Amino acid sequence: MSKDLFAKYDVAAPRYTSYPTVPYWSGAAFPPSDWLQHVQNAFSADRQISLYIHLPFCESLCTYCGCNKHITRNHAVEHPYIETVLREWRMYLAALSGKPVLRELHLGGGTPTFFHPDNLRYLLENILRDVEVPDNHDFGFEAHPWSTTDDHLHTLYDLGFRRISIGVQDFDEDLMKLVNRRQTVESVERCTERARAIGYESVNYDLIFGLPKQTLAHIREDARHVARLRPDRIAFYSYAHVPWLKKSQCAYSEADLPTGAAKRRLYEAGRRWFEADGYAEIGMDHFALPHDSLFKALRDGTLHRNFMGYTPYKTSLMIGLGASAIGDTWDAFAQNEKTIADYERVVNAGTLPVFRGHRLNGEDQRQRQHILNLMTRFETGWSSEEADDEILAAALARLEPLMADGLVERRPFLVRITPEGRNFLRNICMAFDAHYWRRQPEGKLFSQAV
Ligand SMILES: C[S@@+](CC[C@H](N)C(=O)[O-])C[C@H]1O[C@@H](n2cnc3c(N)ncnc32)[C@H](O)[C@@H]1O
C-alpha cells in the first residue's frame, strides 16, 4: 500500500456511527413530544426495540478515553442514577401502545461494572418486567476486566446476557500505565475464562491501535494473546485523538502518537495476524470468528451499524436511556442531556431529557442508506430513478479521484470498494455526506481518517 495514499487521505473524517453526523443535526429545536411521535410510529411497525443504557461512572480516568463518562469513587451515585433511568424508561412505556419486544439490550459506559451487581439486577428486573424477551434476544454489556467480578457475570447471565465486551485496549501493562489504566493480562484472562465457564456465548475484546508509544511489537503481542484466548469478536479501533474535546488526551505528548502510514501499519499487521488465526474482517475495524452472529450477519446481508458500532441486525426503534444516550427511529435521532446533573434534573422534573435531535428528510435517508451500505457491504447501488438525482451525481463526482487511485470501482448503478479501498472507508463514505459538503466545519470536529 502506497505511503502517499495514506498521506493524501489522512484528513479529519467522521466514523459514521450516524448520518447525518451529530454536528450536522438540526439542533436543539426538537421538542420531546415530536421525538415521542417518531418513537410511537417506529414502535407500531413490529413492537421490536433495541435498548441502550448508558452507565457513565468510572473509578479512574483512562487518559485516552473519548467516551462520555464521570469519574468518581463515590458509589452512592448509583442508586439515584438508576432511579432516574427507570423514571425515563417509564415515560417511554407510557407512550407505547403495547408491550415492547426487547430484541437487543446493551449496557455501555463509562463502566457498567462500576455498579454493584445488586443495583444492576434492580435496574434490569424493573425493565424486563414490562417487556417480552424473544428467544433470539441479544443482551450484552461492556466490562472492565479490573472491576468485573464473578457476581457481575452471574447476575447478568441470570438476567439473559450472553455477550460480554471486555475493554482490553492493549495487553501491555506498561503501555496501559502510560494511559493511566489499571489492568493486567491475568485480569483479562480471568474475565474471559469465567465468562465462558458461566455460559456466555460471545466474548468481544476492544483493542485500540495508535495509542501513545504503541509499536508493532505491542500489536504482535496482542495478536498472540488473541490467538491464545480466542475471543469470538474483536473491535480493533483506530485511536481517536480529539484533545480539543477530551483534555485528558493532553496528558501525553503528540510526538508519541503513531500517525499516518505508521499508524496504518499497526492496523494492517493486526489484521494479517487476526486473519491468519481464522478471524474475518467485518466492515471497518471489527473481526469475528465464523461461528459468531456478526460474521453470519455479514454473510446473510443483515449487518447493521449504529451508535455502538456493528450489530447483527436492525430494529425499527432504538431507545437510549441515561445521560448522553442516543435514540434512533431511522427517520429521527435524539440525544439526552450529556451531564448527569442536567439529565437527572430534567427527568426528575417529569420531562424526557432530549436536548437535541434531527429529523431525517428523504435526502438524508437516502444518503444514510448509501453510507450504511458502504460501511456494511463495501458497496452501494441505486435505482434508475435515483440515477438522475443531483445529490447522487455530486457524490459520484467526489469519488472520481478515489476511483483514479484504485480505491473504488464504478459499475452500472453501483459503486464497489476495492480491497485497497477498505483502508479508506471513512474517506469514501464522506463523498456521500451531503451535509458536510454543503457546510464544511470551521473548527476541528472529527479525528483523522487514518
Ligand atoms: C465506553 S468505552 C467502555 C469500556 C470500559 N469502560 C473499559 O474501560 O473497559 C468503550 C470502548 O471505546 C473505546 N475507546 C474509548 N476511547 C477511545 C478513543 N479515544 N479512540 C478509540 N477508541 C476508544 C475503547 O476500546 C473502549 O473499550
3-state secondary structure 50-84: EEEEEECEECCCCCCCCCCCEECCCHHHHHHHHHH
Pocket flag, ligand 1, residue 66 (CB < 6 Å):
yes
Pocket test for ligand 1, best of 208, 239, 285 (most atoms within 8 A of CB): 208
Q: Which residues contact 361 (CB under 8 A, 6 or more apart)?
A: none
Q: Which residues of the chain have pLDDT under 70?
A: 1-3
Closest CA to 169 of 182, 153, 155, 152: 182
Cα–Cα separations (whole angstroms), residue 135 to 104, 159, 260, 337, 446: 11, 13, 45, 33, 39
Q: Given this model, what pLDDT does residue 3 score?
A: 64
Pocket flag, ligand 1, residue 249 (CB < 6 Å):
no
Pocket flag, ligand 1, residue 206 (CB < 6 Å):
yes
Whether residue 84 contacts residue 347, with contact meaning beta carbons closer than 8 Å, is answered with yes
Q: Given this model, what pLDDT does residue 184 score?
A: 95
Q: Given this model, what pLDDT does residue 10 score?
A: 81
Percent of the chain clearing pLDDT 70 (strictly above): 99
How far apart are the C-alpha atoms of 100 and 42, rounded to whole Å?
12
How far apart are the C-alpha atoms of 116 and 187, rounded to whole Å?
18
Whether residue 166 contacts residue 203, with contact meaning beta carbons closer than 8 Å, is answered with yes
How far apart are the C-alpha atoms of 93 and 131, rounded to whole Å?
9
* Cβ neighbours of 72 (radius 10 Å): 15
Q: Which domains does the chain have, with CATH numbers?
A: 22-359 (3.80.30.20), 362-438 (1.10.10.920)
To 10 degrees, what angle do helices 260-276 and 216-229 make? Answer: 20
Closest CA to 434 of 400, 389, 403: 389
Instruction: Indicate the pTM of the whole model.
Output: 0.95
Residue 237 CA to ligand 1 center (angstroms) comes to 9
Residue 249 CA to ligand 1 center (angstroms) comes to 13
Using the structure block, give the residue that is written with the C-alpha cell 424477551. 133
Pocket flag, ligand 1, residue 354 (CB < 6 Å):
no
Residue type, position 356, single letter = R
Pocket flag, ligand 1, residue 65 (CB < 6 Å):
yes
User: Where does residue 1 rank: exposed (0-12), middle (13-18), buried (19+ CB within 10 A)?
Assistant: exposed
Q: 124: which 3 cell numbers?
A: 434490569
Q: Given this model, what pLDDT does residue 1 score?
A: 55
Cα–Cα separations (whole angstroms), residue 109 to 66, 69, 156, 325, 404: 11, 7, 16, 10, 42
